[in-house]
Amino acid sequence: MNRRDFVTSTTLAAAALGLPEAAHALDSTSPAPAMSDSTQATPDSPRATRKILIAGGGFRTKFIGYMAQLTGKTRPRICYLPTASADSPQSALGFYQACAPLNVEPYVQNMYIESLSQTQGFDEVLLSMDAIVVSGGNTLNQQAIWKAQGVDLILREAWNRGIVLGGASAGSLCWFDEGTTDSRPKALSIVKCLGFIKGSHSPHYDAEAGRRPLYHKLIGSGEMQPGYACDNDAGIYFEDNTVKRVVHTRAEAKCYYVSVVNGKVEERVLEPEMI
C-alpha cells in the first residue's frame, strides 16, 4: 500500500469511529513490525538441529564454505547481515568476494531500509535462507537495531528451524549471553546479546592486546560468565550449546574455554582442525 492510500484508509477508519487522533496514535505508538502469519515465531515452533559457526575474526571463504557444507544443500542460499557495520557497502562487497569461489547463492539484507523499496518482510527474507552470516562492527548498535526491528526474534526462529547462523567479531559475539566489546567509547566493556549460546565470548583474542587480560579479569571476578575465546582465523561449531568441532584457517590460531577452577582463572586450549 502506498503512503497516500495508507493515510486515506486510516483517516476514514478513524472518522467512522469518531477518533480523529487515531491515525496519529497509530503512527506514534505502534510496536516493531511483526512477522507475517505464515512465519510467525512461537515458543512451541518445532526445532531442527540448531547450528552456529563462529570465528574470532576472519570469517572469509573457508569459513563460509564450511558453513555451506553444514546446510546440507548443493547450492545454499546464504544471507549477509551487515548491521554492525552500518550496512557498509565495502562490507557487503567483501562478502560477495568471499563467496565468489563457492557454489552458493549470496544475498545481502540491509537494515537501513524504507518501506517502498523493501518489498518483503525481514522474516520472509531471513527464513527463506539456508545460512545467515553476520558482519563485524559495533555489536551494541547491532543489538539495538535488531530489537527495534524484531530481527532478534526472527533470528531465534531461524536457529530453531536449523538455518545455519554464524560470523566473526560482532558476528560471533551476538549469539552469546554476553561478551567483551569495543562498541563504546574509550575502553572495552561488557555487552549483552541474544543468548542463543549460553555463557560469554571474547573474539580477536590474539589480535587485540586488551582482550585476554580483560576477559580473565571479568570471569575471575564473577562479573562475566565463563565462556569461549577465539583467536582470529579460529572458530567453533556449536549444535545447540554443545561444541561439535573446533576449526581454524591459520596454524597458530586457537580457541579456548575460560573459567574459574579452584578459585583461579583457567584457560583451556581447544585444539582446532584445519579447514
Q: Which residues are marked as active site?
A: 169, 204
β-strand pairing of 105-108 with 77-81:
parallel
Cβ pair 234, 56 in contact under 8 A: yes
Q: Which amino acid is at 269?
A: V
The total of other beta-carbon atoms located within 10 Å of residue 119's CB is: 8
CB 230 within 8 A of CB 172: yes
Reference 136, options 100, 93, 86, 192; nearest CA is 86
Residues contacting residue 132 through CB under 8 Å, at least 6 positions apart: 78, 79, 80, 81, 126, 155, 158, 163, 164, 165, 166
Contact 140, 181 (CB under 8 A): yes
Q: What gap in Å lies between CA 143 and CA 135, rounded to an integer?
A: 12
191 is written with which cell numbers? 555487552
Distance CA 167, CA 135 (A): 6
**Residue 89 phi, psi dihedral angles, 5° rounding:** -60, -35
116: number of Cβ within 10 Å: 8
| Burial tier of 207 (Cβ tally within 10 Å: 0-12, 13-18, 19+) | middle
